[in-house]
A = this chain, B = another copy of it.
Amino acid sequence: MTALLDTLRADLPEDAVTVDPALMDNYRYDWARDPAAGVPLAVVRPRTTAEVQATMRWAAANRIPVVPRGAGSGLSGGSSAVAGGIVLSMDRMRSVVIDPASRVAIVEPGALNVEVKAAARAHGLWYPPDPSSFEICSIGGNIATNAGGLCCVKYGVTTDYVLGMDVVLADGAVVRLGGARLKDVAGLSLLKLFVGSEGTLGVVTRAVLRLVPAQKPPSTLVATFGTVAAAAEAVVAITGQLRPAMLELMDGASINAVEDHISMGLDRSAGALLLAQSDVGGAAAVNEIAVIANACKASGAREVFSTDDPAEGEAFAVARRAAFPAIESRGSLMLEDVGVSIPLLPALLAGIEDIAARNDIEIPTVAHAGDGNTHPIVVYNAADPESVARARLAFDEIMALAIALDGTITGEHGVGRLKKDHLPAQLGPEAMALSHRIKDALDPLGILNPGAVL
């Protein structure tokens, strides 16, 4: 092994290769904390595309698995280390350059989402994709998972903002795809194929991201409903009339978890709460909030509050944001990410309630309701093997339920290693076979993130 690593070290700067077990431990897990994560042979931390190429050439020559890694905030185990493999951490490649006239950011994959947003803001521009983890997640990871967030109900997901990238392939070749061009249909859509591929097809070392004009200060509305079905009816009515800049849902269990944690005076008997924002500004925002309020009332909302004061709106949003810490205080969590079409949200949430009851476990749910993307949060006691077993069962049952409702097992977190076994049930044998054909064509040795996704 030492001789093998010496050949890698020969092609890289002295400090690029880490084998210290204590240091490597920081690169073994992502937020899924997969207990099956292996002990890697080494962690490589390149500073340039050329160093990524050298690593991949060495890995290909020696058939060593490589797990590309951004900030490690993934929730599906997509960057869990593989025993005897390389963790290829992009945390030293973090430059962000804004071209305001072309309205693009040229970024390295280790740059955090929040850093890109801040750099764009300095030019009056905005990078919309906003996963809840935006302060700690990397752009490379966002591209790998095609990350979403709260504003994608109006502004789309990561793939909608990737105009170009440099990708190092499994054999070490580098390919430049796309560029600072808003429309380009020359050749196959290779760019889009790499977005969401979770490090299984190549390693992104540079991305050209589309920026848009800064968002206006939002107006905010909160409404409570007796049932999830009533709230979902409001969501259908709202999204058929306008595009809200945010449309989040909390179910009764998550409302109560928040009230238990920080008393905010939320209605504990409510079956659901909707949080909506409009960012069109001025009189138009007043109109949009009125349309949203009317849709809520027509769907039987119990109470509707709204404000055009961004600070007050932010206070309303605190409840939604408090959901995770509130639920975290109740035990260990398995975070789901299932989605369905909006009209099926009530069926999904009723099914989740049933799964919780049958397995005698708590599953509060928050949702990006405007996209039909939900985060049921399975709460369990990590010290109690029986609780863990029940939680695992519930976690699996929720994915099966989503598939039965013609939905998806993951709307924005990725398949990683945690959901891999459920992917064939969603995609079917033909799409799985097609995926393997693509994977085999691009990574014939199977060294890129083996064990993830496929």
> Can you list 27 pairs linking A and B with CB atoms under 8 Å apart?
A101-B240, A101-B341, A102-B341, A103-B239, A123-B240, A159-B189, A169-B434, A175-B430, A180-B406, A181-B340, A181-B406, A183-B339, A183-B368, A185-B196, A186-B408, A186-B426, A188-B197, A188-B201, A188-B435, A192-B193, A192-B195, A193-B438, A213-B239, A282-B283, A434-B442, A437-B442, A438-B442
Compute how far the CA of A145 lies from the CA of B408 in the bound complex, rounded to whole angstroms: 27
| Chain B contacts for A419, CB-based, 8 A | 186
Stretch at the interface among A6-14, A309-317, A409-417: A409-417
A129 to chain B minimum Cβ distance, whole angstroms, is: 12
Q: Please pick, from B174, B184, B339, B441, the residue contacting A181 in the complex, using a CB distance under 8 A.
A: B339
Looking across the interface, which residue of chain B has its beta carbon closest to that of A164?
A: B406
| Chain B contacts for A282, CB-based, 8 A | 283-284, 287
For chain A, the count of residues having a C-beta within 8 Å of the partner chain is: 96
Compute how far the CA of A175 lies from the CA of B437 in the bound complex, rounded to whole angstroms: 13
Q: Please pick, from B102, B187, B283, B440, the residue contacting A284 in the complex, using a CB distance under 8 A.
A: B283
Compute how far the CA of A241 lies from the CA of B430 in the bound complex, rounded to whole angstroms: 46
Known interface pairs A213-B241, A343-B102; A407-B188 also in contact (CB < 8 Å): no
- Find out whether the CB atom of A181 lies under 8 angstroms from the CB atom of B103: no
- Find out whether the CB atom of A186 lies under 8 angstroms from the CB atom of B368: no
The yes or no answer to A256 lying at the interface (CB within 8 A) is no
Known interface pairs A287-B282, A339-B184, A411-B183; A430-B173 also in contact (CB < 8 Å): yes
The yes or no answer to A243 lying at the interface (CB within 8 A) is yes
- Find out whether the CB atom of B102 lies under 8 angstroms from the CB atom of A183: no
- Find out whether the CB atom of A423 lies under 8 angstroms from the CB atom of B103: no
- Find out whether the CB atom of A193 lies under 8 angstroms from the CB atom of B186: no
Compute how far the CA of A188 lies from the CA of B407 in the bound complex, rounded to whole angstroms: 16
Looking across the interface, which residue of chain B has its beta carbon closest to that of A145?
A: B185
- List residues of chain A with CB under 8 Å of any chain B CB: 99-104, 123-125, 145-146, 148, 152-153, 156-157, 159-160, 169, 173-177, 179-190, 192-193, 195-197, 200-201, 212-213, 236, 239-243, 280-284, 287, 339-343, 368, 370-373, 406-415, 419, 423, 426-428, 430-435, 437-442, 453-454
A16 to chain B minimum Cβ distance, whole angstroms, is: 24
Give the number of times this chain occurs in the complex, counting copies: 2
| Chain B contacts for A197, CB-based, 8 A | 188-189
| Chain B contacts for A148, CB-based, 8 A | 183, 185
- Find out whether the CB atom of A190 lies under 8 angstroms from the CB atom of B434: yes
- Find out whether the CB atom of B187 lies under 8 angstroms from the CB atom of A435: yes
